[in-house]
Each structure stands twice: as structure tokens, then as C-alpha cells.
Amino acid sequence: MDLLFVADPLESFRVYKDSTYTMMREAAARGHRLWACEPRDLRWQRGGPVTAPVREIELVAGADEHTDTWFRTVQHREVALRDAGAVLMRKDPPFDSEYFYATHLLGQAEREGARVFNRPAALRDHPEKLAILEFPQFIAPTLVTRDDEAIRRFHAEHRDIILKPLDGMGGMGIFRVGADGLNLGSITETLNRGGAQTVMVQKYLPEIALGDKRVLVIGGEPVPWCLARIPQGSEIRGNLAAGGKGVAQALSTRDLEIARALGPLLAARGLLLVGLDIIGECLTEINVTSPTCFREIGDQTGFDVAKMFVDALERAVAGEAAP
């Protein structure tokens, strides 16, 4: 099967920890051919299908995974996305206007017969921070607003809060305000830009000290291990990009409860791969654009997340192809 990965430039991959690379490696081991392009390569013209200039690549056996010599280009081709066995949208956040436009081009490719994972409409319908609002039974006290007075009232009620932008990634733009309210006004002005931008505010969860857990759900089923991303030093953020330490852990009873409640529902909407972020007992985010942590979980536990993923991908493609 020809697999088209729509992703960031291959040369930018840090494959020693890159989940997309682990998908490619598992797929190639099964004999699938690998194609790659960037979202900017997608194009459509009246009278024809959605196409892209792609690179067919091969993985270099024994290559140093800390360099960009991990692949070689076999050939360059112009392909219609509908001709791929599957299209995997693996562009990293942020979910900006160009990402949004790419999902519409991928949606058109779907209408032409392409099999796209995760489904473009589902990517648009599940913004990663706001998607939790559908599941209030699993989340901490949360406020979404532009109104600075509403934020002040929320702080007065909960005393210790977290404020974050809706379009942040990797822990960027996250602030904690304690009971003294120090700098709450300034932080609010910075994040909501004088009322022009919506902010998420949540009760601070002290369990963050034990880690912000990434629970992967594949084809509706939870991976039995999560990666707890533990803040280091005086940092409040556990994100690996913010210096957090990743420690693999077996799923807790609560983790399984949340994953089993959400997994089948999200899978039915076309989300083959989801990353649930859980702090303590609370769901904090639903990652759908380009969930990661395959390598860290595999390296620490021996559980082959990429195998589980490619198994699910093959089943999904076979199911769609069935009469």
C-alpha cells in the first residue's frame, strides 16, 4: 500500500524521538511504500483532483537517527491523493489558518475517494483545548472567555488557577496565578489582548507534580502505557518541549475510565489516533492533530505503539475498501 504522509519537512524530523518516523519504520517493515509531502504542496484545480508533488522515500538502514540521513529519495512524483492507499495528516501544530485550509483540501480529496487519517472534518471539529468541553464529567473547573471580569471572579472562587491561550502548543503561553492574585490583570491583558482573544482558565491541579499524562488511544482502544511528563525544577509545565521529564507508566483506573469512555466515540468520528492529556483525575486536552510519545513509551516499556497504530490503520483501510 502507498502511504502518503502530509507532514513537516522530513529534514526537520528528530527521528530519535519522532512518532511519525516510527509509523514510517513500521509501515516500511511491512512492505508499504512511503510518500511524503508538506501541507503547502496540496493543490486543486477545477476539472481535476487534489494532487501534490511527493517524494517517494526509503529508510536508510543503520543510519544515524540524530541526522537527516535517515531517508533517501527514490523519486519525485505528482500524485492524486485518491490514488494513495491512505493519507496520514501528521503536520505538527499550531492549528493556524493554513492548517485549516489544508483540512479543506484534504476534505475535497476525501470526497474524491482518498482515505485520510485523522479525518479532516474531525480535525476541525475537535480543537485540542476546547474539545474537552464536551466531557465536563471528566474535567477540572474550567472557564472559556474573553471577559477579564469573569476571569477575576473565577480566580476569586478557585484561588489558584492556570490561564492559557487556545492556540498554544508545547506549553507555550501558560501562566499560573496563586491565591495572592499577583499579576492576574497583566497576564489576562497579555492573553486576551484587551478582550480580543478567548482564553481558557482552569483550576490549578497540584497533581501536575506527578506528571501531565499522555494517554494514546488508537482505533478507539487505549495503549496500556502512558507517558507522564513531569515538570522539572520550578517549572509548572510538564510538556517535553518545556523541559519536562517523560516517564512511562501503566494506565491508572481513572485513565482507563476516561480513555474507554472517549475512545470509541472519537474513533467513530474518524479520529484514528488521539492523545488524551490527563492530570491527576482530570482530562485537560484532547490532541488530534499530530499526537506523539510513541518512541518514549516504546523505549521505556518495550510496547510497540507503532505496530498497534499500523495494525489499526490497515484495518481501517480494509474496512473502508470492503463492499
CB 287 within 8 A of CB 293: no
Question: To the nearest whole percent, how much of the chain has pLDDT over 70?
Answer: 97
Neighbouring-strand partners of residue 221: 218
Q: Are 275 and 239 in contact (CB under 8 A)?
A: no
Per-residue pLDDT band at 323 (split at 50, 70, 90): very low
- Cα–Cα distances (Å) from 102 to 113, 251, 303, in that order, read 17, 34, 33
Sign of CA dihedral 106, 110, 115, 118: positive
Contact (Cβ atoms closer than 8 angstroms) between residue 244 and residue 229: yes
For 279, the 3-state DSSP assignment is strand
Q: What is the pLDDT of residue 321?
A: 59
Give catalytic residue positions. Answer: 129, 164, 214, 229, 237, 277, 285, 287
**pLDDT value of residue 69:** 85
pLDDT digit string, tens, across residues 247-258: 999 999 999 999
Tens of pLDDT along 1-16?
999 999 999 999 999 9
> What are the cell numbers at 170?
508545547
Domain 2-121 has CATH 3.40.50.970: no
Contact between residue 170 and residue 287 where contact means Cβ atoms under 8 Å apart: no
Does CATH number 3.30.470.20 belong to domain 207-319?
A: yes
List pLDDT tens digits, range 79-111: 999 999 999 999 998 889 999 999 999 999 999
With 0-12 / 13-18 / 19 or more C-beta atoms within 10 angstroms meaning exposed / middle / buried, residue 263 is buried
Distance, CA of 231 to CA of 229 (rounded, Å): 7
List, as one string, the DSSP characters of 7-73: -S-GGG--TTS-HHHHHHHHHHHTT-EEEEE-GGG-B--TTS--EEEEEEEEE-TT--TTSS-SEEE
**pLDDT surpasses 90 at 181:** yes
**Residue 169 C-beta-side C-alpha neighbours within 13 Å:** 14
Q: State how far the Cα of 151 lies from the Cα of 143, in Å rounded to an integer.
A: 8
Instruction: Domain ranges for the chain, please list them.
Output: 2-121, 141-204, 207-319
What confidence category does residue 305 fall into, taking pLDDT thresholds of 50, 70 and 90? very high
> What would the pLDDT profile of 184-213 be if each residue is shown by its tens digit?
999 999 999 999 999 999 999 999 999 999
Q: Count of residues for the chain?
A: 323
Using the CB atoms, write b or e for 7-25: b if 16+ within 10 Å: bbebeebebebbbbbbbbb
Q: Spell out the residues 6+ positions from residue 83 whose beta carbon is closer than 8 angstroms to its own.
A: 2
Region 177-189: mean pLDDT is: 96
Mean pLDDT of the chain: 94
Do the Cβ atoms of 11 and 31 come closer than 8 Å?
Answer: no
Rg from Cα positions in the chain: 20
* pLDDT tens digits, one per residue of 247-290: 999 999 999 999 999 999 999 999 999 999 999 999 999 999 99
Check if the beta carbon of residue 15 is closer than 8 Å to that of residue 21.
yes
Share of the chain above pLDDT 90, in %: 87
Q: What pLDDT shows up at residue 62?
A: 74
pLDDT tens-digit map of 158-168: 999 999 999 87
Q: Are strands 225-230 and 212-218 parallel, antiparallel or unpaired?
A: antiparallel
CATH number, domain 141-204, options 3.30.70.360, 3.30.420.10, 3.30.1490.20, 1.10.10.60: 3.30.1490.20
**pLDDT beyond 70 at 68:** no
Full-model pTM: 0.94
